[in-house]
Amino acid sequence: MAASFTGKLLVANPQLVDPNFYRTVVLLFEHGDDGAFGTVLNRPTEEGAADHLPDWAHLLADPPTVFIGGPVRNEVAVGVAEWPSMEAAGESNLFSGIGFVDLTDPPDPAQTPERIRVFSGYSGWDAGQLEVELAVDSWFIVDPIVDDVFGRPQGLWSRVLARQGGHLALYAMYPDDPSLN
């Protein structure tokens, strides 16, 4: 593997029709020789996250719902946090103070994130699998901003592509069904 894309976004090519990933934006938590995993950022549910994690309710970003992180292990809650600094995020820092948070215990008052998002499950790729998908242009790799993780999930796919400029920005307007054009 030549480069790691840990901390980057995978933005689904509009021609990727897998229902688990159609028009998704995935934040990669890890990418290496053993594979990759991350979480889908733009699949909110109607289920309240505070119902499952009442100790964390005061830190939930709007909307305070559970998001579908991917098709793998949906019984596992994955917490993504915005920390006051990259140093506060520690080893979990992916970019700009965005990192993981352990949701199994109540928040530590001495080291509390500014806000969190809760994801049900995650997205995963075996060794070499993501590289194959990248080689056939299933995904675009772009740099994230904090608003991608904690902003409004509706329209995220289009917003991320539009800000890229060039040919990627054109995909932001790609119709759901190109045959209707």
Pick the more confident residue, 179 or 51.
51
State residue 2's pLDDT score. 65
Identify whether 106 is part of a domain: yes
Identify whether 74 is part of a domain: yes
State residue 3's pLDDT score. 83
Task: Tell me the whole-structure pTM to 2 decimals.
Answer: 0.94
- Give the domain range for residue 56: 9-180
27 Cβ partners below 8 Å, 6+ apart? 7, 9, 38, 39, 41, 80, 94, 98, 144, 148, 149
State residue 52's pLDDT score. 94
Identify whether 123 is part of a domain: yes
Indicate the average pLDDT of the chain: 94
Question: Closest by alpha carbon to 81, among 117, 121, 122?
Answer: 117
Residue pLDDT, tens place only, 118-144: 999 999 999 999 999 999 999 999 999
We report the CATH number of the domain holding residue 96 as: 3.40.1740.10
Number of structural domains the chain divides into: 1
Identify whether 114 is part of a domain: yes
Identify whether 71 is part of a domain: yes
Identify whether 3 is part of a domain: no
Identify whether 4 is part of a domain: no
Rounded average pLDDT over 68-80: 93
DSSP string, the chain: -----TTPEEEE-TT---TTTTT-EEEEEEEETTEEEEEESS-EEEEEGGGT-GGGGGGBPSS-EEEE--SEEEEEEEEEEE-SSHHHHGGG--BTTEEEE--SS---TTS--SEEEEEEEEEEEETTHHHHHHHTT-EEEE---HHHHHS--TTHHHHHHHTT-HHHHHHTT--SSGGG-
- Range scoring the smallest mean pLDDT among 101-110, 135-144, 151-160: 101-110
Could you give phi then psi for residue 119, rounded to 5 degrees?
-120, 135
Identify whether 1 is part of a domain: no
Which is it for strands 115-126 and 65-68: parallel, antiparallel or unpaired? parallel
Query: What residue type is 176 in one-letter code?
Result: D
Q: Are 104 and 98 in contact (CB under 8 A)?
A: no
Residue 40 has pLDDT above 90, yes or no: yes
